[in-house]
Amino acid sequence: MNKEEQVMMSFRELFNKMSWLNRLKMKERLKGYQPSEVHCIEYIGRNADSNVAKLAESFFMTTGAMSKMTKKLIERGVIESYQKPENKKEVYYRLTDQGKAIYNIHEKLHQEFQERDKSIFEQVTDEQFGTMLSFI
């Protein structure tokens, strides 16, 4: 196995380990929501004037697939659509109160995961962080 393959394999292993560690709590506290739906809610919660094009670009999905997801989230009552008075053509999304609750649960989970992983990152030097960040 060459170096490139080793790096890619290590990234996959790290991602899979993190997914496995996070999965149980995510499923338990965000029951009934797919990870892609939760991350869509997160994006809308963090980015004002989110629309299908911005969401699709962010998630590397087609606008058709993202339209389908936003429609489902509207039906579930976690997001709502709106238009700006100066641009009646474009449709934007924002969180409902229910969507904000899901967003807050997700944020708390991220904080818990960061706290869990803190001891690992405390072992990393500033130089190592710099190298990792410049690579990524």
35-87, pLDDT tens digit by residue?
Answer: 999 999 999 999 999 999 999 999 999 999 999 999 999 999 999 999 999 98
Percent of the chain with pLDDT over 70: 100
Q: How confident is the model at residue 88 (pLDDT cuts 50, 70, 90)?
A: confident
Q: For residue 111, what are its two tokens?
A: 């904080």
Residue 114: predicted pLDDT:
92
Identify the structural domains of the chain with CATH numbers, from first to last.
Answer: 33-135 (1.10.10.10)
Long-range own/partner contacts, residues 63-66 (CB < 8 A, 24 or more apart): 66/40
Strand partners, 92: 82
| Contacts for 39 with CB less than 8 Å, ≥ 6 apart | 59
Task: State how far the Cα of 45 lies from the Cα of 93, in Å rounded to an integer.
Answer: 9
Percent of the chain with pLDDT over 90: 75
More confident residue, 121 or 104: 104
Q: How confident is the model at residue 2 (pLDDT cuts 50, 70, 90)?
A: very high
Look at residue 132 and tell me whether its pLDDT is greater than 90.
no
Task: State how far the Cα of 106 lies from the Cα of 128, in Å rounded to an integer.
Answer: 29
Amino acid at residue number 29: R
Q: What is the pTM of this model?
A: 0.82
